[in-house]
Structure 1
Amino acid sequence: MSESTFYKFLPLLLCALSVPLSMFMWIGNVAYSKIASDEENVIPPARWLFSILVPLLLMLYGLKRKGVNKSGAIVGLLCATILSIASHAFLACLAMFFFSSSRATKFRAHLKRKYEEDFRGGEGRRNWAQVICNAGYATTLAMLYLLDCGYGERPVDFGRFY
């Protein structure tokens, strides 16, 4: 199979895998919540689907537009999935950062060529290390948020919720 054919069918393959993967993650979450505690704090399957599908679409967009390389896309997918499970607002922040920084990298690329020796034409492909540097701390805080508050969006009311 040629590489262009592979990339042509990649979105279809990822979408076909997103539903079974999200259901598998939901079943694992239900099993863990039954074993680990008596609480019924189970993440619903629709949230798992959204938390798998939207980061997959962001990953495909980043790969297609050459915003990330393969290693950066895989680490970004993991970070985006964790952020999305914790709160959709966290994922929205990550997505806006990715879109704005990708645009900023390409902004006035012809002027940057004069000042940088290893300039790559405003391509700005991020690797796994750059993804960890930009999204790693937010992912760590999202995991702490999951442990402390659970999943979901909460209003800013420090008296009741925090």
Structure 2
Amino acid sequence: MEKTMIQPLIAVLISSLIAIRSYRKKSLDLSGAISGFIVMTIHIAVGYRYGAMLLAFFFSSSKLTKVGEEKKRRVDADFKEGGQRNWIQVLSNSAIATILVVIIWKEAEWQDKCLDSKDSVLVTSLIGGVIGHYCCCNGDTWSSELGILSDAQPRLITNFKPVRKGTNGAVTKTGLLAAAAAGSIIGMIFVIFGFFTAKCSKDAALKQLLVIPLSCLAGLCGSVIDSLLGATVQFSGFCTVRNKVVGKPGPTVKKISGLNYLDNNAVNFVSILLTTLLTSIICIFIF
């Protein structure tokens, strides 16, 4: 059987197993499992590297969400057992990359390409965008899930004033370091898988190593953008009844920061979009 038949079949098999397992483990609800299956199938069918980056983000975020659940339950007003995600959360963290990999498939015709502007500026920018996308997703998730467990006092990124844990736009050193590490992981996966799946010149192959430090910066940048948006256009307030930080105004809620323009999913989407664009442009000049 040709690659055009084998790889999609492998993609369906892997995606089915992961979607079913994630639903049973309560990492995804039914809508999240169905949308996740579609997204995973597309990524893996187009290229194993894209599937690997997506799965690295998904598995690490799912695992970290369950770390320190008791502590997070006391702080997070929207806490869900197992961090269960629905289709909106799945697509807000994967829709842009899914569109990009489909365009890559059309342009590259099933070939796994290196980042090389001499070969194709368009494909290089698209691949760079996918890398930036998952660096941002992973960076923001690691930052949030590990930062909230830190004993350090969180500070609002816009004025560095101390705020309560769970406040949108609050950062800690632990969270920022986690974001950089999360981005690096995505870059390493891209490079390692590329050694086995991508065909490119010797010079271009060596240059792919620059993806790792670039991914580190993309993870950090994505987290910072997310925090800036969270502190300015996403509402945070302290509910005196629930004794928690909440994301919507109310009669028992004292405002901490931000305007009530975007919710968490919208903030994630915008920060991912901006990081994707920035990384895409930078890759054209570097590679």
Give the TM-score range, shorter chain: 0.5 to 0.7
Question: Alpha-carbon deviation of 1:92?
Answer: 0.6
Which blocks of at least 5 consecutive residues in structure 1 are unaligned? 1-25, 27-41
Residues 10-52 of structure 1 show CA distances to partners (whole Å, capped at 9, x for unaligned) of xxxxxxxxxxxxxxxx9xxxxxxxxxxxxxxx85221121121
Structure 1 range deviating more: 152-161 or 133-142: 152-161
Please state if 1:60 is matched with 2:11: no
Counterpart Cα distance in 1 of 2:47 and 2:15: 13
Per residue, is there more strand in 1 or in 2?
2
Counterpart Cα distance in 1 of 2:25 and 2:99: 27
Q: Of 140, 143, 146, which residue of structure 1 is paired with 2:102?
A: 143
Amino acid at match of 1:82: I
Please state if 1:79 is matched with 2:39: yes
User: In structure 2, do the counterparts of structure 1 residues 52 and 152 end up closer, same or farther at CA, with 3 Å as the change threshold?
Assistant: farther
Structure 1 range deviating more: 49-58 or 108-117: 108-117
Residue 124 of structure 2 corresponds to none
Counterpart Cα distance in 1 of 2:44 and 2:77: 38
Please tell me whether the aligned partners of residues 28 and 84 of structure 2 are also in contact (alpha carbons under 8 angstroms).
yes
Q: Secondary structure at the match of 1:48?
A: helix
User: In structure 2, do the counterparts of structure 1 residues 113 and 153 end up closer, same or farther at CA, with 3 Å as the change threshold?
Assistant: same
Question: Alpha-carbon deviation of 1:118?
Answer: 4.3
Amino acid at match of 2:113: R
Amino acid at match of 2:13: L
**What TM-score does the superposition give when structure 2 sets the normalisation length?**
0.39
User: In structure 2, do the counterparts of structure 1 residues 155 and 118 end up closer, same or farther at CA, with 3 Å as the change threshold?
Assistant: closer
Bigger relative contact order, structure 1 or 2, given CA contacts below 8 A and separation 6+?
Answer: 1
Counterpart Cα distance in 2 of 1:145 and 1:120: 35
Residues 110-141 of structure 1 show CA distances to partners (whole Å, capped at 9, x for unaligned) of 111221234334x1111000000011111011
Residue 60 of structure 2 corresponds to 100
Where does 1:10-159 land on structure 2 (aligned, <5 Å)?
44-121=4-81, 123-159=82-118
Counterpart Cα distance in 1 of 2:102 and 2:78: 37
Structure 1 range deviating more: 150-159 or 46-55: 150-159
Q: What RMSD, in angstroms, separates the aligned Cα atoms of the two structures? A: 1.9
Per residue, is there more helix in 1 or in 2?
1
Please tell me whether the aligned partners of residues 88 and 152 of structure 1 are also in contact (alpha carbons under 8 angstroms).
no
The percent of aligned pairs where both chains have the same amino acid is 30
Deviation above 3 Å: which 4+ runs of structure 1? Answer: none
Question: Alpha-carbon deviation of 1:161?
Answer: 4.5
Paired positions, count: 121
Could you say which structure has the larger radius of gyration? 2
